[in-house]
Amino acid sequence: MTGKIKVLNTFKFKTASEAETFRLAELFGEKIKSGQTISLKGMIGVGKTIFVKGLAKALKCDRSPISASFSLMKMYKGAKLKLNHFDLFRLEDDEAPYLGMEEYMGEDESVSVFEWGSPASYLYDRTELIELCFDLSGGDNRTITVRAKGAKSKDLAGKVYQLWRKKKK
């Protein structure tokens, strides 16, 4: 066989509770590498901040993140990596370039996670990006569609997907 291994870039996850979304985020946090950007999409109350909390737990951050809306960005110091948590809910697109976000994104020894990140999307081309789209699927169920751009991102999403499937068996 000479065929190349196909590298997938879209993965679907289903969670049935806050605790499961937290656990999924922990898996991402356990495998994530410096310089990664994660964009969390989905309506109000769908679970984006819960995901950030799981990520922070796995990174052994000094505090548990709270909604960053009022400060636009909060930084948490983990055991090895820093976690930059952006929440741009209140930001207009034309205000984004004045924040200096690129100073933080892709920085050595740090990862960045965005809620309501569309004003920053012009920066995404420059970093390894994983996008997670959260959809309500009845009750506490969520469907989370993960799209990965770049080799490191695909590797991360693929690893988490394998671990998640193993856990579900």
Ligand X SMILES: Nc1ncnc2c1ncn2[C@@H]1O[C@H](COP(=O)(O)OP(=O)(O)OP(=O)(O)O)[C@@H](O)[C@H]1O
Tell me if 63 sits within 8 A of 136, measured CB to CB: no
Residue 84 contact partner, candidates Mg ion, ligand X, none, CB within 5 to 8 A by sort of partner: none
Q: Give the number of other CB atoms < 10 A from CB of residue 85.
A: 25
User: Does 17 interact with ligand X (rule: CB under 6 A)?
Assistant: yes
- Which residues touch 119 (CB under 8 Å, ≥6 apart)? 88, 91, 92, 93, 95, 96
9, 18, 73, 74: which one contacts ligand X (CB under 6 A)?
18
- Scanning 45-53, 74-82, 97-105, 147-155 for contacts with ligand X by CB under 6 A, the matching segment is 45-53
Planar angle of CA 41, 93, 149, nearest 5 degrees: 45
**Contact characters 92-121, Mg ion, x per CB under 5 A:** -----------------------x------
27, 32, 36, 48: which one contacts ligand X (CB under 6 A)?
48
Residue 155 contact partner, candidates ligand X, Mg ion, none, CB within 5 to 8 A by sort of partner: none
